[in-house]
Amino acid sequence: MAHGGDVIAELTTDHREVESLFQRIESLPSGHKDRRKLADEMTIELVRHSVAEEQYLYPAVREHVEGGGAIADKELADHARVEEALKQLEGCSVEDPEFDRTFMTVKNEVTSHVQDEENNLFPRLRQACGQEMLDQLGDKIRTAKKMAPTRPHPAAPDTPPLNKLLAPGTGLVDRVRDFVTGRGRS
């Protein structure tokens, strides 16, 4: 979703939305058919969010935050683990016990990643960048999310320039697939 505000406000709002989806999934019993719909919605949001961060947030962190290269590399490694788990979740039936195990892997990885971003990366970014730059990054993140893929693609590049070149085309294909299958529609 696009929310408005600077990059930190935009991404923090995304984090709260995903946490809400985690709660909604967990509120349903194992095997409940609506868990698939919610897991698809969660996957769409996580993939779009991650792609946008990879395109704009982490390059800015590398450039402006002291020690930003190591921070960005750690965040990209977090994304890679989540994307692999999302790909596994995509292939699970909600009746399969592996669905619950894989969902918990996603939830635990994302929760840890979010805490790290909000407690460490975001404060350092706010200190290193002026408000105008944070606002511009927020605009770029919102634009990127609109064009981003909606399905996990673990083998796709996660750093510029290739991710910026390939993500819009992959996103278009994903959105067509979602439209045809009804995936992501409530």
Tens digits of residue pLDDT in 27-65: 999 999 999 999 999 999 999 999 999 999 999 999 999
pLDDT value of position 186: 65
pTM of the model as a whole? 0.93
What domains can you pick out in the chain, each with its CATH number?
Answer: 7-178 (1.20.120)
Q: How many H helices and E strands in the chain?
A: 8, 0
Q: Report yes or no: 18 and 110 within 8 Å, Cβ to Cβ.
A: yes
Residues 62-81 pLDDT 10s: 999 999 999 999 999 999 99
Largest CA distance in the chain: 49
Closest CA to 47 of 162, 171, 150, 184: 150
Residues 81-130 pLDDT 10s: 999 999 999 999 999 999 999 999 999 999 999 999 999 999 999 999 99
The CA-CA-CA angle for residues 99, 101, 105, to 5°, reads 110
Q: Residue 144: is it exposed, middle or buried by C-beta count within 10 angstroms (0-12/13-18/19+)?
A: buried
Q: Report yes or no: 4 and 10 within 8 Å, Cβ to Cβ.
A: yes
